[in-house]
Amino acid sequence: MYNLILPKRYVVGFDTTQLPELFTEVLVIGSGVAGLSAALEASRERGVLIVSKNKLGENNTMHAQGGVAVVLSPEDSFQSHIKDTLEAGQGLCDRKVVEKVVRDGPSKIEGLLELGASFDRVDSASGELAFTKEGGHSHRRVIHGRGDSTGMVVEEALLKAVEDNVRISTMDHCFAIDLLVVEGACRGALLWHKQRGRFIVWAGETILATGGCGQLYRETTNSAVATGDGMAMAYRAGAVLQDMEFVQFHPTTLYIAGAARVLITEAMRGEGAILRNKWGERFMPKYHPMAELAPRDVVSKSILQEMQDDEHTHVYLDVTHLPKEYLESRFPNICSICASFHIDITKELIPVRPSAHYMIGGAKVDNKARTGIPHLYACGETACTGLHGANRLGSNSLLEGLVYGYKAGEEVSLSLNRRHRRVTSYPLKIDAGAGRLRGMNLEDIRDSLKSLMWRCAGVERDEEHLKEAEDALSQWREYVMDKEFHTAEGWELQNMLLVSSLIVMAAQQRKESRGVHYRKDYAQRDDQNWKRHITFRGQGLGA
Ligand code: FAD
Ligand code: SIN
């Protein structure tokens, strides 16, 4: 069985630290849609500090393209959105959570509109919101901004509100190394800043909003920040992680050797784009009645099948039948990215293939965004709320980030109102770690890890490859986890090793195929044995 060997980063009980300290009522780690929403809500009553490991707006939220799924069209209904979400989740969604997120959606979009987020309209005269469709949705219910730059529209509106808010302070380029857990409760975090070095933030309440972990895979749509830090920190703090085997792969990522794996939004298929194989043949109708708009896992697997059958590295997305002016106004970002690689999408096919896109699992939270560790909350991609089950419906995650972000913000205020204690410090000693760093090439291990995860724990899995991943990860953990690092690269690598190990462990355990988890050796869904969640309780580090 696994021995995960957690890096030891601090111990409580020795008054030996000389580290600078800050105090805040609420600490929010992460500045994407979830963290910013949480901070804005908490700031109604409380002082908030947001930290972010890169620039504030450098995250997955900023790259979101397709839109936000929300019931705002008169032809649509809550029941329909709930049904579609439950169907996609293949028996593992929490119905109450689905109902709450779907029903809370319209008011959260109202809130964003009030902050100045400008979603696209059918025309300026009517002012009606424009809706698009994505896989698995039975209505056109996805609103979008600046064509295919929805995330930017959302993030910019939230960031502007945060900047204008005197109760919120922000610190960018500030890496959270670990949560501080004292006597079983979260009291803040140990952080690191390039200029300041290590320091401590003592907090009344801490909200983890650190996003996903797409960077564990060689092929990914995710931004560089997505290294699973929040999940790893939560695990080390003793929280429960759930559904770690459910990594969602997006079917259509731009595939050009040497180019970043830029997402080609599903909304393109919603507007009529066709998938073609090496021979130019449309293939999706033979795999699913919804063809190009089948659920994502079906489209990803079908693409892989075509690639294998044709011994080709990718397939193609065809929008050449759509009017040039329409493509340029509806998908300006994608037109321009493809143009920079000399592909004119109005005349040429776009080379695409699947890549890691979204982590369904994460720190398990209840309906108040609480992790189970007192004073520690989680929201956004780093949390597992139970909304997505075994497969996330496109454009449901910005919605979830908004709803649970605001919920976390509301709850921390309530929790602080109930307590009348000032935020205080605790005696603490930074553990220097055991091993010395000798001749270790972090970049090489990171690249090897990403290749391993792509090959052995990707779209298709089986016992043999998962075992190969288990063995390699175990070997790397042996010499990486006990080392003391002084930069983010080292801590990130430790986090990536930990989260990869949990994904592999969960994928080995789930001996069936369900949603985004496809086992070639157990190709059928097995409700009798597996209509349940896999959870891991983290091993605490604090006193
Ligand atoms: P993020 O937005 O990723 O923010 C994470 C934050 O945590 C960052 O600020 C980062 O700096 C910080 N952080 C991480 N680790 C640390 C650390 N150790 N210390 C300090 N700070 C840290 N979803 C939709 O609903 N609709 C879409 O159209 C859509 N399109 C997408 C397109 C792309 C290309 C991608 C990658 C995802 C898309 N998604 C979409 C998914 C969605 O964008 C994300 O799930 C969502 O934005 C995650 O928000 P978040 O706030 O949880 O995390
Ligand atoms: C996309 O635009 O295809 C991504 C939407 C999502 O991941 O929710």
Ligand 2 centroid, distance to 58 Cα (angstroms): 17
For ligand 1, whether the C-beta of 52 sits within 6 Å is yes
Cβ count near 83 (within 10 Å): 14
81 CA from centroid of ligand 1 (Å): 23
- Residue-wise pLDDT for 503-524, tens only, equals 999 999 999 999 999 999 999 9
pLDDT band, very low/low/confident/very high, at 543 (cuts 50, 70, 90)? very low
Mean pLDDT calculated for residue range 369-397 = 97
For residues 378 and 234, the answer to whether their CB atoms sit within 8 Å is yes
Q: Mean pLDDT, to the nearest integer, of 484-497?
A: 93
Strand partners, 484: none
- Cβ of 462: how many Cβ atoms within 10 Å? 15
Q: Is 158 helix (H, G, I), strand (E, B) or coil?
A: helix
What pLDDT is recorded for position 311?
95
Identify the structural domains of the chain with CATH numbers, from first to last. Answer: 21-246+360-419 (3.50.50.60), 252-355 (3.90.700.10), 442-525 (1.20.58.100)
* Binding pocket residue ranges, ligand 2, CB within 6 Å: 65-66, 263, 265-267, 358, 394-395, 397
Q: Which of 357, 359, 363, 354 is nearest to 390 (CA)?
A: 359
| Cα 47 to the center of its chain, rounded Å | 26
What are the pLDDT digits (tens) for 222-269? 999 999 999 999 999 999 999 999 999 999 999 988 788 899 999 999
pLDDT of residue 435: 66
Instruction: Please say if 296 is a catalytic residue.
Output: yes
pLDDT at res. 539:
82
pLDDT tens-place string over residues 257-298 = 878 889 999 999 999 999 999 999 999 999 999 999 988 889
Provide the β-strand partners of residue 428: 12
- Dist CA 443 CA 87 (whole Å): 41
Average pLDDT over residues 371-391: 98
Nearest CA to ligand 1 atom 4: 32
How many Å apart are CA 189 and CA 171, to the nearest integer?
A: 14
User: Is the per-residue pLDDT at 4 higher than 80?
Assistant: no
- Which residues are within 8 A (CB) of 526 and not within 5 positions of it... i.e. 6 or more apart? 511, 512
H/E stretch holding 205: strand 197-208
Cα(189) to centroid(ligand 1), Å: 20
> Phi, psi at residue 242, to the nearest 5°?
-130, 150
Backbone angles phi, psi at 29, to 5 degrees: -100, 105
The 3-state DSSP class for residue 241 equals strand
d(CA 477, CA 433): 14
Mean pLDDT lowest for which of 151-155, 180-184, 373-377?
180-184
List the residue whose alpha carbon is closest to atom 7 of ligand 2.
394
CB atoms within 10 A of CB 442: 16
* pLDDT classification of 68: cutoffs 50, 70, 90: very high
DSSP 183: T
Residue 156 Cα to ligand 1 midpoint, Å, equals: 14
Catalytic option among 141, 198, 269, 296: 296
